Chain A
C-alpha cells in the first residue's frame, strides 16, 4: 500500500487547497483513534456543507467558493505536514461509514465527487495534466489543422457559455461523447460524428467521471470487506465510531413509516391539507384536479405517500380512483399499476424505493406538463405567492418566505412556511418532505392531546 501523493511541493504555497490525492488505496499510516473520529467529523462537515449548497441550487462558481471556504474552515491541521494525511485518513474513514447501503454510497459518492471537482478546478494546468496522467486518460490534443477546421463551431460553443475562444486555450481533446455525459447534457461541447471537443478547462469533467467510477468501485469493495472481515475484527474498536458517525449526520431515510400508524384513505384529504409540504400538496391537488400526473409527479408523490404510511392496497385504490376518471380503469391497471407496485418493491428489481429528499426534489428538472419539483424553486414568484396564500400563509410571513426564495434558500423558505402554518417553530429545518409531514403530525397530535 502507498499513499497517492501528489505533485505536492510545487504548489504548497497555496495553502488553501493543497495537494489533491486520488485516494487510490488505504494509507499505511498509524492513526490515533481520536484522530480517526475527529478527522472524519471535520470532513463530514465539508460534505454536509456541499450537500446544503447543492440543495440551494448554487451555481458552479458559487459552489467553488463554498467548497474552498468549507475546506479552509474544516480541513486545516496545525502541522503542515499532516494536512495531506488528514485529507486521506478522513476520506478512508468515511468510506467505511458510507459504504454500507446503496443510499449511503450514493450520497457519499456524489459529495466526494463534487468536492474533488472543485478542488481540481483550482489546480494549475500543469497539476491538472499530471493528474490526468495519473488517471491514465488516453486522449491526445487535436492537431492545429483539425482545430482550424472546427474553430468556428468551437467559438460558437464558447460564446454560448459567455466565454470567448482565445488562442491561449486552444488546446482541445477529442473524446467519445459517452465519456463526458455532463458536458453533452448541458451542451457545453461541440459534438461531431460521435466525438466531443473538450477544452482544457473542461477536462475536469473527464477526470471527474474517472474519479467517480474509481470511488464507486472502491465503495463496493470496502463494503464487501467490511461485512466479511473488518466489521467483525473491529467490533469493539471502530464499529461504535462508525455507527455513530453514520447516524449523526444523515438522519432517517423515511423509507419505512415507523413513527405513525398507517394513514387510511378516508383521512388522506384531511392530512394533505394539514401536514403535506407545498411540493406534495401541489401534486396532490393537481392529481385531484386533472386526475393525472406525469411520471416525475407520480414518483415524487407516490414515494412520499408510501413514507407517510399509505399501504400498497390503499395506494393502488387511491391512484386508481383518480386515474380511471381520466384514462379508464383498464388503462390504469395496464399502464400505471405496475409503477406503483414497483415503488413498493413488488415488481421489477424488488428494491424498496426511498422517498425523495428535499435535495433531490430541488435539483430535479420538471418540464412541460410536469408538476413535480420544489415549488420554492420551480414556481414563478406569482404562482408561488398564490400557492402560499392557499396554504394560509399570512402576508408578513409570506414576504419572509419570498425573501428566502430570492436568496435561493428553498428549504429555509419551506421551514418558514411550516412555522407560519403551524404557529410553532421548527428548529431543525426542513430536509425531507416526510420529515415535514412527521413534524407536522407531532405538533397537531400534541395540540389534540392538550385539548382533550
Chain B
C-alpha cells in the first residue's frame, strides 16, 4: 500500500481543525501515521525524562531510595488497532523505552503507583486479598473545552480556536495560583491535551500521597457550578461576601478577562438569543424587562460606534449595581454572570480518585497529530494550540536535518519540540528532582535516627 492509500483508508485519523501545513521540500504529508509515530518514538520522545520524572529520585544511589518505586507504576497503552493494554509496568528506563518503541502506542496513559507491581497483581491476589491498591498518584486535573459549549459561540464539540482557547488560559491561571498560594504546592506541570483542553499534574510528595477524600475536597474547593443539566442556575453565589479564593480569582483574572476579551470575542450580547441567556440569570423582572425594552428598541435605532456588547454589559451593571438594588440580593448578580462565563470547569471525576488514568505528556494526539506539550503557566497566554508542533512537521524537520545528524546527538535540540523538552527539564523536572532528593535524604536521616534511638533503649 502506498502512503497515499494508507492515508485515505484512515481518513478518520486526519487532522481536523488544524491549519494547513506549509509544504517544505522535505515535507511529510499531513496527518497521523503509525509510521511517523515510530520515528517519533525512536528519535524525539523524551523517554529518559519521563523515566526520571516518574522515579521521583528513587533511581538514585542513596540508600533511602525505594528501588521498587518505578516498577509499581501503572502505564497503559492504546495500540493501533484499538487494543488497550492496562497494567503495564517497567523496571528500568530501558525497559520503558524499548516497550514504547516496540509497541508504538497511539496513546500512553499514566496511572497510580500501587502497593505491588501491577503486572503481577494476580499473583499477589492469589496469595492474599487486598494487597493490590494504589498508594501514590499525582493530583491531576482535566479541563476540557467541550464543557464550555453552552457559553462559546465560535466553536462547539472538539473544535477550538483562538477565540475560545483563552478560556483555558484563564482556567490555568486560576487553578495554578490556588494550587501554589492556597495549597502550597510547588511542582506543577500543565500540559496541552493535544486537542481541546489541558491537563494538570501536581507532583509534590504531599500531593502524591493524598487520599481520595482529600483529593475530592480539593476538587470541591474549586467547584462552583452547583447546577446540573436539569436545574436553571449554574452558579449561585450566596452570603454577604465571597471566599478569598473566589475574590482573588475574580479580581485578578476573571473580571478583566470577561470585560476586555470574552464580551467581544464571543459577542455575548449581539443578538436576542444570546442576551436572553444572560437576562435569565437576573432574578428581577423589572430589571430584565427594562433592559429587554432598551435592546429591542436599540436594534432599530441608530447604531452607536461603541461595541454593542460592551454597551449592553455596562447597562446591565449599571442597573444591577445602582444603589437601590444593593439591598435586594442582586448585587451578587454581576459576579454570578462573570463567573458563569469564565470560571474554570473541571472534570471532577478525574481529580477525585487515585486510580484515574491520564495521558502522558509528549504523546501525539491521534486525531490532530499535535504533540501534548507542556504549557508554562507563567506565559500561558502566549500558548497557541494551533501552532503546536505536529507529528508531520517534526518529521519534516528530521528529514531536513537528514544526513547532518551525528550519532548520539539529541534530535530535539534542533527540532521544534526542543523548546518544550527544555522547558520540561529546566522548569519542572530539575526543581522537582532536587526536592525529591532532599525529601529522600531527610526521611532516611529520620529513620536512621529512629533506629539509633531504639537501639539505645
Contact = CB atoms under 8 A, between A and B. Distances in A.
B226 A365 contact: yes
**Best-buried of B78, B132, B221, B225 by chain A (most CB within 10 Å):** B221
Interface stretch (A9-17, A119-127, A191-199, A421-429): A191-199
A113 B214 CA distance: 18
B431 interface: no
A414 to B, nearest CB: 16
B234 interface: yes
Nearest to A193: B184
Contacts of A193: 181-184
Contacts of B184: 192-195
Interface stretch (B238-246, B282-290, B316-324): B238-246
Given A184-B218, A185-B221, A186-B220, A369 B242 contact: no
Contacts of B245: 187, 191
A383 B230 contact: yes
B82 interface: yes
Contact of B78 (A282, A334, A349, A380): A334
A156 B182 contact: no
B230 A380 contact: yes
Nearest to B150: A368
Contact of B232 (A157, A187, A380): A380
Interface in B147-205: 147, 150, 181-185
Contact of B349 (A295, A333, A383): A295
B217 A156 contact: no
Contact of B239 (A162, A349, A368): A162
Nearest to A286: B229
Contacts of B214: 178, 181
B329 interface: no
Interface in A361-393: 365-371, 373, 375, 378-380, 382-383
A182 interface: yes
B243 A156 contact: yes
Contacts of A379: 230-231
B278 interface: no
Interface string B374-390: 00000000000000000
Contacts of B185: 194
Interface string B10-22: 0000000000000
A130 B228 CA distance: 43
B223 A367 contact: yes
B225 to A, nearest CB: 5
B348 interface: yes
Contacts of A380: 230-232
A384 to B, nearest CB: 8
A169 B86 CA distance: 53
Contact of A187 (B147, B213, B243): B243
B220 A185 contact: yes
Contacts of B221: 184-185, 187, 191
Given A185-B216, A295-B349, A380-B232, A177 B183 contact: yes
Given A159-B241, A177-B183, A194 B227 contact: no
B109 to A, nearest CB: 11
B231 A368 contact: no
Contact of A156 (B86, B226, B242): B242
Contacts of A157: 243-244
B218 A366 contact: no
A375 B213 CA distance: 26
Interface string B244-259: 1111000000000000
List the 3 closest pairs (A to B, CB-CB), nearest first: A194-B184, A181-B217, A159-B241
Interface of A: 153, 156-157, 159-162, 177-178, 181-182, 184-187, 190-195, 282, 295-296, 330, 333-334, 338, 348-349, 365-371, 373, 375, 378-380, 382-383
Interface of B: 78, 82, 84, 86, 132-133, 147, 150, 181-185, 206, 210, 213-214, 216-218, 220-221, 223, 225-232, 234, 239-247, 345, 348-349, 355
Given A185-B217, A368-B147, A370-B228, 18 more contacts: A159-B241, A160-B242, A178-B214, A181-B216, A184-B218, A191-B182, A194-B184, A334-B82, A338-B86, A366-B229, A367-B223, A367-B225, A367-B227, A368-B225, A369-B147, A371-B229, A373-B228, A380-B231
